[in-house]
């Protein structure tokens, strides 16, 4: 498997990176400092998705291996998904899942002719595995990812190389048809884990607290919200 340099869970890095790929300036990533309602209320705009970083510890792996979704899942045929075929690319996968969800609600969120617009148009009607193959073969996104990973704001670049054994993983929580899904490129075809009906803040708060309770010795948890600021 080809490896990229790892991205850091850093809103400045993710905002600059996404802007370079064509996300309009009315959308920014911002630190989500807690899981209570007051923390969501402090965000600079409406929270449209949450990118979550955690350690791939044994308790978390066992949870995913034995996950049983709650009832109430609707059709997800229109939910954008992309499979991760490149090592350390989970940060980019999380960004794509977040912005793919935003694009389904706000058709004007991307700059015309941008990389994002071109890529998402190519993905129309394709499976997550097919989208993953498109991403893997795209030299421009690899260059942009590397530039973001090596930026001065990305402290991971100071301690990790493309061949580093990184044990942290990004997923994205998105809303779809009244439910919340945890989009994970490691799962077959980038399939989303359905966590139930409800608002994004309510479900993300509950699920991420459960992540932390499963692995209380870890200090690797981080949340960044994708916000619509106007």
Question: What residues act catalytically?
Answer: 90, 169
CA distance 193 to 65: 12
Any residues with CB less than 8 A from the CB of 101 and at least 6 apart, and which? 48, 49, 79, 80, 172, 174, 175, 176, 183
CB atoms within 10 A of CB 163: 10
Q: Is the dihedral of CA 138, 76, 223, 90 positive or negative?
A: negative
- Three-state secondary structure call for residue 146: helix
CA distance 140 to 124: 19
- Three-state secondary structure call for residue 126: coil
């Amino acid at each position: 498997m080809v490896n990229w340099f790892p991205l850091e869970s850093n809103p400045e890095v993710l905002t600059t990176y996404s802007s370079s790929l064509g996300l309009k300036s009315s959308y920014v990533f911002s630190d989500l400092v807690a899981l209570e309602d007051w923390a969501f209320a402090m965000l600079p705009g409406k929270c449209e998705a949450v990118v979550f970083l955690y350690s791939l510890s044994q308790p978390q792996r066992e949870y995913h291996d034995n996950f049983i979704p709650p009832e109430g899942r609707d059709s997800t045929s229109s939910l954008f998904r992309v499979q991760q075929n490149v090592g350390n690319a989970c940060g980019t996968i999380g960004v794509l899942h977040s912005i793919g969800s935003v694009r389904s609600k706000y058709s004007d969120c991307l700059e015309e002719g941008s990389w994002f617009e071109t890529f998402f148009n190519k993905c129309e009607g394709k499976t997550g595995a097919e989208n993953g193959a498109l991403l893997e073969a795209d030299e421009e996104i690899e260059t942009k990812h590397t530039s973001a990973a090596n930026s001065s704001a990305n402290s991971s670049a100071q301690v990790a190389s493309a061949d580093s054994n990184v044990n942290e993983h990004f997923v994205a929580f998105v809303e779809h048809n009244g439910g919340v899904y945890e989009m994970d490129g490691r799962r077959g075809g980038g399939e989303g884990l359905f966590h139930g009906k409800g608002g994004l803040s309510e479900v993300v708060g509950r699920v991420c607290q459960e992540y932390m309770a499963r692995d209380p010795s870890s200090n690797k948890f981080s949340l960044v919200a994708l916000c619509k600021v106007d």
